[in-house]
Amino acid sequence: MATRTSPSQPKASGRKTAGTAGARSKTTTTAARTRAPRAPQAPAPVEHDLPFPLRAVRGLWMGLARVVGGAFRKLGHDVHPDRELRRDGTGLFLVIVAMVVASVEWWGLRGQGWYGTAVHNVFGGTFGFMAVVLPFVLLVGAFRLFRRPEEHRANSRVGIGLALATAAGSGIAHVVGGLPSLADPFEVLWSAGGILGFLMTAPLAGLITVWGALALMVVLLLLSVMIVTATPFRHIPGRLRQGYEWIMGQPEGGYAEDREAADAHDQSYLHEHSRTQPKPRRKARLFGRDKDAEDRERGDGGFAGDEAYDHAVIRESDEDVEPGGAAAEPRVPAGVRRPTAAERAMQKIKDDVGLGAPAPDAPAPDGPASEARGPAEPATEAIDTAALAAAAAAAPRVPSTPVAQPAPLAPIPQRTEQLQLSGDVAYTLPASEFLPSGPPAKERSEANDAVVKALTETLDQFKVDAQVTGFSRGPTVTRYEIELSPGTKVERVTALSKNISYAVASSDVRILSPIPGRSAIGIEIPNADKEVVALGDVLRSNAARKTDHPMVMGVGKDVEGGFVVANLAKMPHLLVAGATGAGKSSFVNSMITSILMRATPDEVRMVMVDPKRVELTAYEGVPHLITPIITNPKKAAEALQWVVREMDTRYDDLANFGYKHIDDFNKAVRNGKAVPPEGSKRVMKPYPYLLVIVDELADLMMVAPRDVEDSIVRITQLARAAGIHLVLATQRPSVDVVTGLIKANVPSRMAFATSSVTDSRVVLDQPGAEKLLGQGDALFLPMGASKPMRVQGAWVTESEIHKVVEHVKGQLKAEYRKDVAVEAPKKEIDDDIGDDLELLLQATELVVTTQFGSTSMLQRKLRVGFAKAGRLMDLLESRGVVGPSEGSKARDVLVKPDDLPGVLATMRGDEAPGSAAPAPREAALAENANANHFGVDLVAEDLANRTQAIDYDDRDGEDDGSEDAWSLTGR
Ligand SMILES: Nc1ncnc2c1ncn2[C@@H]1O[C@H](COP(=O)(O)OP(=O)(O)OP(=O)(O)O)[C@@H](O)[C@H]1O
């Protein structure tokens, strides 16, 4: 895309845009969305329509306003609001009034001459003693208008708060001044509350006594302070404490405890509900930490947990993170953004229950404050912190403006103390510094403005009544939003796709119609100036920092510039696909590095399969591995079978203790509730999550397609509750590699650029990936999501990986299990089944679950020909699943659904149910003695020595309770 000069934007349209957006952004909580100028619609009243003298006066006035405004904008740190949005004229007016009042009330002109008398009579008479405070109040208003003019709602809030404070102050002054009546001399009235004070308190004093009126005024005053500072009731204690700590110079005192509590809370919250939720926007820093935002998240978190999202992904706006982990300087406002529908819905719900995070440019009076004041901020900002942070969140950035100051990196979530691994090994997670920050993100650049102009012109040329109403800039692409005027067909825009490509000189234009959850068309156009998303920044984002779940990985950034992290444990299995060079391996690297950064070997263990022998070698020897990196495809297939055995062992163990999920079991172990049977030498330890990463699935599928598919299907169907998760990457997402069965069982998908639309369909079940740009540009479809989310994958360099790996290896030596690549006993599959085992299993399942023995049903459901269906039916008859043929009638089904697992196992040639010792136990008994960190050292013994809850022999027994145990396993 060619970079074009920024279009000069008509004033009227600029204002209109801001106004509309300002209103809409009431509920905005996230997303780096930038308003674009609307196409000019009606001629705006312009300056040269005015007669010359007026124009000259206006010019002078505005010139002076700009000078004064410029001075205000230089106070503290510079701000640069968009010229189109400035309200310097009003600001200047407030400054002049303030000077006039101050000259009289402060500087001794009171009652001196006509000027002193007139001003004093007007202001003193109206506000009484509060006239003395009035210049200060007016200057606060002017300060806001000069520095944050685009925050209409926040400005209104502050205005209302100040007005209320003035009224309450006058009321208090009136009571304190002895409640003079209007008939009293002016001087008496002035030294009390003036006319306003009289009106505020005289009627009230009659109703609820003088003391009641005074109390009410004090309450009003406090309320006005809360409105001005956007402090909700529940934040008052925190604010007071912060203020106290700041005054007393206790940077992080007492806060550490809070943080710990918060961490504990976050952990449990995300552990149970890892959900997509709109995040509060940018935060201000409090003593180097964002306590307020965290408070807010805690509040939101519990609530958001009730939302319907349950797909493993957490995304947030980039305002939630400070590049470099430091407080980003408030950004330069140039427009406002709108929330997505989900954000609006979420905000509305929060508002309804009083949890609402303040809209970035419009914190509601009762909304939680979105910022806290840091000691480093200039004192002049004290009155304005809410607005500053909100403006920073709302405002897109102008390229020429520095966005973030370099500052120390924020920690990647990890425990502060040394971690004690089993065997009294102290383990320190890698330092955040190993993953440096990337360059600060842009929210707007000239390239964006050029595209807006090109889009607007294209719409105009083809006479489509639609406007470009905004855009959200991500690292790789920007999504421009087009809203249609009533009566305009969506197709009129979508039909222009080629013309749009032409106009913006890019062949990679993707049209979203509509943007999910919005009444707007999205046009994604690659950025001429792409940005790299550093993994360190993703891991330091709030979404990542609010949880220390060990399986959370940094995914990247979405199209709106929000960071995306995902919990691999919730996926629960992930398919990563894309053509060579599209960014798959980089993604896998980011994933592994995320785990190394956040998890100890006691928490997460990994099996890495790298048939290409190049991608994962950097991780050789990390203690999280339970086996050396497997490069031989045949061995890899065996390792997968080991994983199946491990899964079975875990299931048996969980069932013995009466738990359905490994998290419950681990919790019980940590709480001392799961105790080994008497006489057992077993030391109870939590199971680590087991992450199995296959870097090239195609290579495995070439050597042992059936075994690999079989293992994958078994693992994916069952392993979730056992804490075992698969990540399968392939550059050949064809149906022979990603078979229907594998696809059906791997619910989360990450599609990098594919070479064809067919490949995209294989990965995502829809086209789209073929249009991606490569180099980490991806469509992410986590389990439960209906539409893929476009993300730019996180990037981690080789030297960063090297540092992390060196650190991790320095902490602990890898202790490999020896049984992983040991081949499982060969299954005995009856000869007559031959290659049809999988079909036969499916046929059995179908017939038994439906209790309907029909050949034509098998034909239809399994999509096989008549001959094959007939053969399957014969096989089913020979194995006693169905009765003999009864002509055209369906056959009797002889197996009950409850018995299905046993029948399937027999067909597979697994250990016949009821045989002496099931393979998992043997395998577990052969457990490597060194595997003490793996947490199953004596499990095998335990399993072998105790009566199994799952006893296949007894499954048919009358009353042994084993059915319950069986159902516990979910098998
Ligand atoms: N997230 C990313 N951000 C920036 N650049 C990236 C990203 N991912 C990949 N790239 C660029 O694309 C190149 C190829 O990426 P990568 O090696 O991950 O592709 P791949 O799909 O694994 O290819 P192959 O299948 O050949 O291994 C990288 O060398 C890098 O320059």
Q: State yes or no: 580 annotated in a binding site.
A: yes
Judge whether residue 360 has pLDDT over 90: no
Asked whether 733 lines ligand 1 (CB < 6 A), one says no
Taking alpha carbons only, the member of 896, 882, 906 closest to residue 956 is 896
If one counts every other C-beta atom within 10 angstroms of the C-beta of residue 880, the result is 10
Distance CA 139, CA 189 (A): 25
Contact call for residues 547 and 413 (beta carbons, < 8 A): yes
Asked whether 612 lines ligand 1 (CB < 6 A), one says no
Examine residue 221 and state whether it is found in any structural domain, yes or no.
Answer: yes
Among the atoms of ligand 1, which is closest to the Cα of residue 795?
1
If you average pLDDT over residues 28-57, what whole number do you get? Answer: 50
Could you tell me which residue, 751 or 326, shows the higher pLDDT?
751
Label the pairing between strands 748-752 and 574-577. parallel
Distance CA 57, CA 738 (A): 74
Asked whether 750 lines ligand 1 (CB < 6 A), one says no
Q: Which of 12-16, 120-124, 579-583, 961-965 has the lowest mean pLDDT?
A: 961-965
Nearest CA residue ID for atom 26, ligand 1: 580
If one counts every other C-beta atom within 10 angstroms of the C-beta of residue 818, the result is 13
| pLDDT-derived band at 14, boundaries 50, 70, 90 | very low
Judge whether residue 882 has pLDDT over 50: yes
Q: State yes or no: 579 annotated in a binding site.
A: yes
Q: How far is the CA of 619 from the centre of ligand 1 (A)?
A: 18
Using most ligand atoms within 8 A of CB, pick from 529, 775, 798, 801 the residue to mutate for ligand 1. Answer: 775
Among the atoms of ligand 1, which is closest to the Cα of residue 614?
27
Examine residue 105 and state whether it is found in any structural domain, yes or no.
Answer: yes
Asked whether 578 lines ligand 1 (CB < 6 A), one says yes
Among the atoms of ligand 1, which is closest to the Cα of residue 696?
25
Domain boundary among 177, 205, 229: 229
Judge whether residue 357 has pLDDT over 50: no
Domain that holds residue 733: 571-811
Report the number of distinct structural domains present in the chain.
3
Could you report the per-residue pLDDT of 420-462, keeping only the tens digit for each?
A: 455 556 788 999 889 998 888 887 888 888 899 999 999 999 9
Return the structure tokens found at 59: 């010019």
Judge whether residue 158 has pLDDT over 80: yes
Asked whether 532 lines ligand 1 (CB < 6 A), one says yes
Judge whether residue 795 has pLDDT over 60: yes
Of 333-337, 610-614, 922-926, which one has max mean pLDDT? 610-614
Cβ-based burial of 809 (10 A; exposed 0-12, middle 13-18, buried ≥19): middle
Judge whether residue 580 has pLDDT over 70: yes
Q: State yes or no: 582 annotated in a binding site.
A: yes
Asked whether 588 lines ligand 1 (CB < 6 A), one says no
Judge whether residue 385 has pLDDT over 50: no
Q: How far is the CA of 397 from the centre of ligand 1 (A)?
A: 28
Asked whether 775 lines ligand 1 (CB < 6 A), one says yes
Examine residue 374 and state whether it is found in any structural domain, yes or no.
Answer: no
Q: How far is the CA of 667 from the centre of ligand 1 (A)?
A: 39
Nearest CA residue ID for atom 2, ligand 1: 776
Using most ligand atoms within 8 A of CB, pick from 529, 538, 585, 587 the residue to mutate for ligand 1. Answer: 585
Asked whether 793 lines ligand 1 (CB < 6 A), one says yes
Dihedral of alpha carbons 106, 112, 118, 124, sign: positive
Distance CA 388, CA 380 (A): 12
Q: State yes or no: 546 annotated in a binding site.
A: no
Asked whether 776 lines ligand 1 (CB < 6 A), one says yes
126 and 220 assigned to the same domain: yes
Asked whether 581 lines ligand 1 (CB < 6 A), one says yes
Q: How far is the CA of 581 from the centre of ligand 1 (A)?
A: 5
124 and 155 assigned to the same domain: yes
| pLDDT-derived band at 732, boundaries 50, 70, 90 | confident
Examine residue 252 and state whether it is found in any structural domain, yes or no.
Answer: no
The pLDDT, as a whole number, for residue 959 is 32
Distance CA 587, CA 776 (A): 7
3-state secondary structure of 190: helix
Return the structure tokens found at 827: 């299954």
HEC profile for 839-898? HHHHHHHHHHHHCCECHHHHHHHHCCCHHHHHHHHHHHHHCCCECCCECCECECECCCHH
The pLDDT, as a whole number, for residue 625 is 93
| pLDDT-derived band at 275, boundaries 50, 70, 90 | very low
Distance CA 148, CA 392 (A): 10
Question: Cis omega before residue 782 (within 30°)?
Answer: no
Asked whether 580 lines ligand 1 (CB < 6 A), one says yes
Cβ-based burial of 634 (10 A; exposed 0-12, middle 13-18, buried ≥19): middle
Q: How far is the CA of 778 from the centre of ligand 1 (A)?
A: 11
Could you report the per-residue pLDDT of 86-109, keeping only the tens digit for each?
A: 788 888 999 999 988 888 888 877
807 and 838 assigned to the same domain: no
Asked whether 585 lines ligand 1 (CB < 6 A), one says yes
The pLDDT, as a whole number, for residue 725 is 93
Examine residue 543 and state whether it is found in any structural domain, yes or no.
Answer: no
The pLDDT, as a whole number, for residue 121 is 83
The pLDDT, as a whole number, for residue 536 is 93
Domain boundary among 181, 199, 229: 229
Contact call for residues 370 and 542 (beta carbons, < 8 A): no
| pLDDT-derived band at 591, boundaries 50, 70, 90 | very high
Among the atoms of ligand 1, which is closest to the Cα of residue 533?
3
Distance CA 157, CA 227 (A): 7
Domain boundary among 165, 199, 229: 229
Nearest CA residue ID for atom 29, ligand 1: 581
**Which of left, alpha, beta for 76 (phi over 0: left; psi -120 to 50: alpha)?**
left
Distance CA 274, CA 688 (A): 19
Could you tell me which residue, 513 or 803, shows the higher pLDDT?
803
Q: How far is the CA of 585 from the centre of ligand 1 (A)?
A: 6
Among the atoms of ligand 1, which is closest to the Cα of residue 752?
21
Q: Which of 181-185, 435-439, 457-461, 658-662 has the lowest mean pLDDT?
A: 181-185
783 and 894 assigned to the same domain: no
ipTM over 0.95: yes
Distance CA 922, CA 941 (A): 10
The pLDDT, as a whole number, for residue 17 is 34
| Alpha carbon distances (Å) from 778 to 22, 567, 589, 768, 967 | 32, 17, 15, 10, 39
What is the number of alpha carbons within 13 Å of residue 548 lying toward its C-beta?
18
The pLDDT, as a whole number, for residue 381 is 28
Distance CA 288, CA 769 (A): 41
Among the atoms of ligand 1, which is closest to the Cα of residue 731?
25
Return the structure tokens found at 517: 């959850």
For the chain, helix (H) and strand (E) counts, in that order, are 34, 17
Judge whether residue 815 has pLDDT over 90: no
Asked whether 476 lines ligand 1 (CB < 6 A), one says no
Nearest CA residue ID for atom 30, ligand 1: 775
Enumerate residues 6+ apart whose C-beta is below 8 A from 555. Answer: 313, 538, 564, 565, 566, 590, 750, 780, 791, 793, 794
Q: How far is the CA of 626 from the centre of ligand 1 (A)?
A: 27
Among the atoms of ligand 1, which is closest to the Cα of residue 589?
18
The pLDDT, as a whole number, for residue 33 is 41
Q: How far is the CA of 775 from the centre of ligand 1 (A)?
A: 5
Examine residue 539 and state whether it is found in any structural domain, yes or no.
Answer: no
697 and 583 assigned to the same domain: yes
| pLDDT-derived band at 200, boundaries 50, 70, 90 | confident
Distance CA 532, CA 524 (A): 18
For residue 599, which amino acid is it? A
Q: How far is the CA of 767 from the centre of ligand 1 (A)?
A: 21
Could you tell me which residue, 323 or 544, shows the higher pLDDT?
544
Asked whether 127 lines ligand 1 (CB < 6 A), one says no
653 and 730 assigned to the same domain: yes
773 and 889 assigned to the same domain: no
Examine residue 273 and state whether it is found in any structural domain, yes or no.
Answer: no
What percent of the chain shows pLDDT beyond 90? 16
The pLDDT, as a whole number, for residue 310 is 35
Task: Kindly state the DSSP code that residue 473 receives in the 8-state scheme.
Answer: E
The pLDDT, as a whole number, for residue 228 is 84
Could you tell me which residue, 336 or 446, shows the higher pLDDT?
446
664 and 705 assigned to the same domain: yes
The pLDDT, as a whole number, for residue 350 is 35
Contact call for residues 364 and 348 (beta carbons, < 8 A): no
Nearest CA residue ID for atom 25, ligand 1: 580
If you average pLDDT over residues 564-570, what whole number do you get? Answer: 92
Give alpha helix (H) positions in 273-360: 291-304, 341-353
Taking alpha carbons only, the member of 404, 390, 365, 319 closest to residue 144 is 390
If you average pLDDT over residues 907-915, what whole number do you get? Answer: 57
Among the atoms of ligand 1, which is closest to the Cα of residue 582?
21
User: What does the mean pLDDT of the chain come to?
Assistant: 71
The pLDDT, as a whole number, for residue 19 is 34
Q: How far is the CA of 616 from the centre of ligand 1 (A)?
A: 14
Task: Kindly state the DSSP code that residue 910 receives in the 8-state scheme.
Answer: P
Judge whether residue 40 has pLDDT over 80: no
Among the atoms of ligand 1, which is closest to the Cα of residue 612?
27
Among the atoms of ligand 1, which is closest to the Cα of residue 590?
1
Q: How far is the CA of 584 from the centre of ligand 1 (A)?
A: 6
| pLDDT-derived band at 260, boundaries 50, 70, 90 | very low
The pLDDT, as a whole number, for residue 456 is 92
| pLDDT-derived band at 871, boundaries 50, 70, 90 | confident
Nearest CA residue ID for atom 31, ligand 1: 775
Query: CATH no. for residue 869?
Result: 1.10.10.10
Among the atoms of ligand 1, which is closest to the Cα of residue 578?
21
| pLDDT-derived band at 131, boundaries 50, 70, 90 | confident
Q: State yes or no: 238 annotated in a binding site.
A: no
| Alpha carbon distances (Å) from 675 to 656, 936, 946 | 11, 14, 13
Taking alpha carbons only, the member of 866, 875, 891, 865 closest to residue 840 is 875
Q: Which of 60-69, 106-115, 212-221, 709-718 has the lowest mean pLDDT?
A: 106-115
Asked whether 731 lines ligand 1 (CB < 6 A), one says yes
The pLDDT, as a whole number, for residue 410 is 54
Nearest CA residue ID for atom 15, ligand 1: 583
Examine residue 223 and state whether it is found in any structural domain, yes or no.
Answer: yes
| pLDDT-derived band at 248, boundaries 50, 70, 90 | low
857 and 795 assigned to the same domain: no
Asked whether 360 lines ligand 1 (CB < 6 A), one says no
798 and 670 assigned to the same domain: yes
Judge whether residue 605 has pLDDT over 50: yes
Q: How far is the CA of 579 from the centre of ligand 1 (A)?
A: 10
| pLDDT-derived band at 177, boundaries 50, 70, 90 | confident
Using most ligand atoms within 8 A of CB, pick from 575, 586, 731, 795 the residue to mutate for ligand 1. Answer: 586
The DSSP bridge partners found for residue 314 are 565
Q: Which of 271-285, 413-427, 763-777, 924-938 has the lowest mean pLDDT?
A: 271-285
- φ, ψ at 554 (rounded to 5°): -85, 120
Q: How far is the CA of 776 from the centre of ligand 1 (A)?
A: 6
Judge whether residue 541 has pLDDT over 70: yes
Label the pairing between strands 604-609 and 689-694. parallel
| pLDDT-derived band at 955, boundaries 50, 70, 90 | very low
Cβ-based burial of 184 (10 A; exposed 0-12, middle 13-18, buried ≥19): middle
915 and 781 assigned to the same domain: no
The pLDDT, as a whole number, for residue 828 is 53
Return the structure tokens found at 39: 């196409």
Nearest CA residue ID for atom 12, ligand 1: 775
Asked whether 583 lines ligand 1 (CB < 6 A), one says yes
681 and 775 assigned to the same domain: yes
Of 39-43, 80-84, 879-883, which one has max mean pLDDT? 879-883
